[in-house]
A = this chain, B = another copy of it.
Amino acid sequence: MKNVSIALLGCGTVGKGVVDLLQMNGHLISEQTDTHIHIKHVLVRDIEKYKNVGLDENLHLTDNFKDIIEDDEVEIVVEVMGSADFAKACIEECFRRGKSVVSANKDVIADCGIGLLKLAQENGADFQFEASVAGGIPIIRPMYSSLNANQIEEIIGIMNGTTNYILTNMTDRGLTYEEALKEAQEKGYAEADPTSDVGGFDAARKIAILAKLGFHAYVNVKDVSIEGIEGVTKEDIAHATAMGYAIKLLAVAEKNTDGISLAVHPAFVPKDHPLANVGGAYNAVYVRGNCVGDVMLYGQGAGSLPTASAVVSDIMNVIQHINTEMTGKRPYLWHETAVKDAAENKAPYYIRLIAANAPGVLANMSGVFAKHGISIRSLIQKDETKEAAEIVILVDSTPCKTVRFALNEIEQLTCIHRICNAIRVIEV
């Protein structure tokens, strides 16, 4: 049996998961790869902190990256730190020394993935990052090695556990956004500052990574039009449920003859769409290819062992490449592709607003819709009080931009108190 020495950069949730998994399933992994994996170093910021957390005493903890980069025995470096700049610098240094890298770092890969893949290849090293998107769900490798005979037309992901937990609990238990967020924070599903999750930024990084691979395109997080779930209310959820939809935070990448568009936004998903039933901490990625049709990959999007499952499968792949002298030899294809404004994409919309309970309101409002060529599919006026009425409108497929223009104009009407929300509707 061969031996391979690896080093971990970071030993947080994912790093600890890798250590645990290699202990639990080490025998099966060695048998499959005919190689024994030895964790030679673990880079941590504060060695003292890790002295009593149940790590194997034989693990060599270090706070000096030099111990790792200068150790020629270390062939694979597993980067599970989370930070962006330092991680990137470490990864680059590994490639320059011919070491292969497995990373779970979505920030680094969303921003610099293609550059790093090229650098790895130039140096005959592997760069694998299955765990950077959707935790344990196999999606990165299937995208480039199982769905690769297809022209990928669309990728839709539910890839943020925090927002999915919040939306699921608002739906199932009638919680307000604030109540559900507070509970998520108390249970550790949301950070004290939840912006990255609820604002859609985390999902944006993940869809940027998938779009790169699926469309073979130079795209970046900056190309993603981002809208979070902060504006989704209990009332929106109730209307969605009554109308046969679930509200989900979707990350959507589309490609057509005009180019690529990338967006993260809440959406009404029909209850019989497979994505509508992806609840709680589960993630799912829906891919449409021009030959395979619709494919969905579903599983746990986070967590110590599920994420470690993806990291270790990457390590096993690198080992196989080392054993067959194939590291750095997988070809990748990248194209310059036009990225268009996602606001030009068409979708039906759910619109909720509060209007004065006065004559002429509907006439004024529908006049604005008509002027912009927006066709009203259904309109329900509800919860009337003496002064105000809630109006819920479903409009036919319309460019996002046009809906915004029309709503800006409607908001100026004196009879309109407030536009509460406008949410895209996904059609099956």
Contact = CB atoms under 8 A, between A and B. Distances in A.
Contact of A272 (B138, B277, B289, B317): B277
A28 B309 contact: no
Interface string A11-42: 00000010001001100110111100000000
Nearest to A30: B333
A6 B294 CA distance: 28
Contacts of A297: 138, 295-298
A320 interface: yes
A21 B149 contact: yes
Given A24-B290, A306-B293, A326-B324, A130 B146 contact: yes
A313 interface: yes
Given A25-B150, A136-B293, A293-B306, 14 more contacts: A138-B295, A141-B146, A142-B146, A145-B313, A147-B309, A147-B313, A148-B313, A148-B316, A149-B312, A272-B277, A291-B309, A294-B299, A294-B300, A297-B298
* Complex copy number for this chain: 2
A328 to B, nearest CB: 10
A389 B137 CA distance: 49
Contacts of A303: 293
Interface string A227-246: 00000000000000000000
Closest 10 CB pairs of A and B: A138-B146, A149-B312, A295-B299, A292-B309, A136-B292, A291-B305, A296-B298, A138-B142, A291-B309, A324-B329
Contact of A151 (B25, B299, B306, B323): B25
Contacts of A130: 146
Interface residues of A, number: 58
Interface of A: 17, 21, 24-25, 28-29, 31-34, 130, 136-138, 141-142, 145-151, 216, 272, 274, 277, 289-300, 303, 305-306, 308-310, 312-313, 315-317, 320, 323-324, 326, 329-331, 333
A89 to B, nearest CB: 28
B145 A317 contact: yes
B331 A33 contact: yes
Nearest to A29: B149
B25 A309 contact: no
Contacts of A323: 329
Given A32-B148, A277-B272, A299 B293 contact: yes
8 contacts: A25-B291, A28-B151, A136-B295, A149-B313, A272-B277, A292-B299, A295-B299, A297-B297
